[in-house]
Chains A and B, each alone.
Chain A
Amino acid sequence: MIRMLDHTADVGFELKAPTLEAMFDEARRALLMTVFERPPRSGEDEDSVRLSAPDLETLLVRWINELVFLIQGDGFVPVHADVRIEESGGEGFSLEASLTGASLDVEGHGWQGEIKSATFHRLDVTNESGCWQAQVILDV
């Protein structure tokens, strides 16, 4: 589940999902909803992402920033992600994702403007009664 937030200077979203992987995928969807009026639904390009981080909050920030880079830097819009997250032996977490994407079409997708970065402000990843939740503020 995605709930868009309206921070005075920036934008953000609240995420809820039954698994950690699903919550990270919701972050991808929320990002597309933020930067596009009409996000593409299908694509034929492929890419992959591998990340690691000392905690889940940092992993989520890095994941969003990686997707921002793919969209704004490479013109690759990730329309589907197969996300796998593992705890790496007490040293944090690692993420691998296989992405399917479409080429960025600024006009066709209704580009809404750049994201500078995901922030750590008020960022919290929690698991309550089997439901993963997070809140993310983006600097735009």
Chain B
Amino acid sequence: MNIEHVSEFKYRILKEGKMRVDAAFYASEGILEDLRSEDYASLKQICNVAMLPGVVEPALTMPDIHWGYGFPIGGVAAFDPEDGGVVSPGGVGFDINCGVRLLISELSRKDVDPSEGRLVEDPQRIGLADTLYESIPSGVGKGRKDTGFVREDLEEVLVEGAGALVGRGYGEPKDLENIESEGRLPSANPKGVSNRAYQRGVSQLGTLGSGNHFLEVQYVDEIYDEEVARAYGLSEGKVTVLIHSGSRGLGHQVCQDYVERCMEAAKRYGIELEDRQLAAAPIRSPEGKAYLGAMAAAANFAFANRQLITHFTRKAFRRAGFDSEAHHLRVLYDLAHNNAKFEEHGGREVLVHRKGATRAYGPGNEELPERYRSVGQPVLVPGDMGRYSFVLAGTEGAMSETFGSSAHGAGRKMGRRAAKKAAKGRNLRRELEDKGILVRAANRATIDEEMSEAYKDAAEVVDTTDRAGIGKKVARLRPLIVVKG
């Protein structure tokens, strides 16, 4: 692998072999060391992506890069439809349109955490944690029955996204203004979604899922950029809620269905695949169009899922004694980190795949809500449950270098089995309580797998992102309550 050090945090992998274009990645010394220690396995994956037809230079990875299946996590690749460019269902991932939504409240930390972390046996905070856990099921064994949704409801959700739920009273019209693409990808085709996907989705709308999905009640503990923070409505001490979930079984099924279809299509169109999980079809082919229609439908399910979770979060706050006037939870922003979208970059329309990467449009972009347009879009970077998450802003650097993309999280550094092994003999739930963080999880395994030590330090990821100019640090959020599926 021929790696060129371009500038302090930017590297270029010069094309060789079957690569059609160069690849580029962003890393600090520490991140580079992690990449070396895995013998550049994740970077080899982005080189495989750079071999696909119609890829636009460069194929990229963000600072939270880690090894995935097919695409690396943290991978960004744009494809030109006019140049035989392809769409890859595996490049979007199984959890189509998985993303994060940040709610901001009018509550301050002392309302939720009067003892400032010393006393976790605070009855109102415990009540809030329990109510949130009961109100937002993980979705396995415990689907959502209280909404009574049937297939017809789902069909509308797949076309209308979050708006279908607002129309049914689950949220406020204003919520939609602060969602990427206003909570709805156009050109969704619900007929391209299989019966099994519907079957999996119908009881899972409004459920969190397991693994790294979560809901956190947090507070703003540090502001790095006053002007942008003001535009976002963030100030020190304010209580926020961060929701991380995706398209649940419906999205997983859509991906499964179309990976196989695209594998057959790849053979027919003579697309050579270094890894079968990179199965792809030309964007303009019937198979490519069919996937994009089904993918948009699944993406709309994901937007709606986070909308329904928002509704039940507001309800849980009320039940725990924080009435609507007091909490006034509003959507600060909702964005996706697993999708493929048509966007204009460098004067042409390209299909940008983001696999574990966040759209990060900079100032002036007309797609952004007016209130954020002058400062760039909020970029939400969750860390691990024991430390912190970050709010960044999209930058001009991201627009010119990374197809308007930035990091999406801390990135794992330890496998799940290794994490469980490391957690043996420890009571992580108690350790977190000692740090003032209340955890509610379906089982111990989830807490162990998601331990802080299993993740890279999100601070290193966002510092690298900030110093590389592809995102600007705005604020840091600390967890008070963590709900895991």
Contacts and interface: CB of A to CB of B under 8 A. Distances in A.
Are A and B subunits of one complex?
yes
Interface of A: 4, 6-11, 37, 54, 57-58, 65, 69, 72-73, 75, 104, 106-107, 110-114, 116-117, 119-123, 137, 139-140
B442 A106 contact: yes
B279 interface: yes
B315 interface: no
A42 B473 CA distance: 54
B259 interface: yes
B209 interface: yes
Contacts of B90: 119-120
A113 B277 contact: no
A9 B68 contact: yes
Interface in B140-182: 140-142
B443 A110 contact: yes
Interface of B: 38, 66-70, 73, 90, 93-95, 138-142, 196, 199-200, 209-211, 249, 252, 255-256, 259-260, 263-264, 275-277, 279, 412-418, 442-443, 445-446, 449, 485
Contacts of B279: 120
A6 B415 contact: yes
A72 B69 CA distance: 22
A104 B251 CA distance: 23
29 contacts: A4-B417, A6-B416, A7-B69, A8-B413, A9-B67, A10-B416, A58-B263, A106-B142, A110-B443, A110-B445, A111-B141, A111-B445, A113-B443, A113-B446, A113-B449, A114-B138, A114-B140, A114-B210, A114-B211, A116-B94, A117-B255, A119-B69, A119-B90, A120-B90, A120-B263, A122-B69, A137-B69, A139-B95, A140-B210
A104 B141 CA distance: 7
A10, A116, A120 interface centre (most CB from chain B within 10 Å) = A116
B417 A73 contact: no
A109 to B, nearest CB: 10
A117 to B, nearest CB: 5
Contacts of A58: 260, 263
B445 A10 contact: no
Nearest to B416: A11
A15 B334 CA distance: 41
Contact of B140 (A37, A106, A117): A106
A8 B415 contact: yes
B141 A9 contact: no
Contacts of A8: 38, 66-67, 412-415
